[in-house]
Structure 1
């Protein structure tokens, strides 16, 4: 009798697990976007900004071992690579001051929804945008400690780089 109960409990747990996975996959509704840079997407002429993170601008250059490398392009290409998997599913969070729609986007990987901004920051292709959000600070610390992406080089924070560019105009 006890053996039957144990088998039933194990069966029940596995059933719930696989049922929940199938619900996630069934509810998955990705959209296709054009990636314009490491934190901006476009669809049907509308610009979307990944909330809580800031990636280097597409033409931003960083320095690695005294050599220039296109860190902004690298961030853009990494976001494109994530998008190629199966598109993004995004939640609308309102507008920023530039009239872009702020979004939190996800990919489906191994039947799990994964936050794109979290991945970008954790891999070092973007920074936590602390001025506007407290999200992704832990991911940034992890990237810095492991010298991932930008953290393996010398770089100017994207918001400082933009400010320097606008001051030179």
Structure 2
């Protein structure tokens, strides 16, 4: 495990920087299914969008459930077993949050993990389809939100402003 973490940290540190806060490594806490916090810095996970905390989806039988909350809980459970997390900044969003690629101590790319397990979807407006393959896997296996019906998070936010 230490080798994986050291390799992930080395990759983050040697990647091209975006300002002085380009690499952040530490214990992550979950804000929601696509946002974490490390050392007081809010970090939006690059390339994915997860249902909002209050957003509901329907399971395969049409029963409503809080899919955003479920995604947050799942990410928290993953991180409880795989700290620390390292993030490499790629941008800042309109709210001032760092947008970053993040890897846990086991070498899992958090965005890829979220999409593969159906807790988030590829955000092609930003990712340019980077996680489209993971989304196809999630759809095929009916993982997470793909087991029933859901509104894409960006559409949900537009309707609930």
TM-score by length of 1: 0.78
- How does 1:1-150 map onto structure 2 within 5 Å? 23-27=3-7, 30-64=25-59, 65-87=61-83, 88-109=85-106, 113-133=107-127, 134-150=129-145
Question: CA separation in 2, counterparts of 1:130 and 1:28?
Answer: 25
- Cα shift at 1:96: 1.3
Say which structure, 1 or 2, has more relative contact order (CA 8 Å, 6+ apart). Answer: 2
- Cα shift at 1:46: 2.3
Point out the more displaced range, 149-158 or 88-97: 88-97
Q: Which of 137, 141, 154 is the equivalent residue of 1:159?
A: 154
Question: CA separation in 1, counterparts of 2:53 and 2:109?
Answer: 21
- Cα shift at 1:85: 1.2
Question: CA separation in 2, counterparts of 1:105 and 1:25?
Answer: 12
- Cα shift at 1:35: 0.6
Q: Which runs of 5+ in 2 are unaligned?
A: 10-24
RMSD: 1.8
Alpha-carbon deviations, 1:88-111, whole Å to 9, x = none?
1111212112211011111233xx
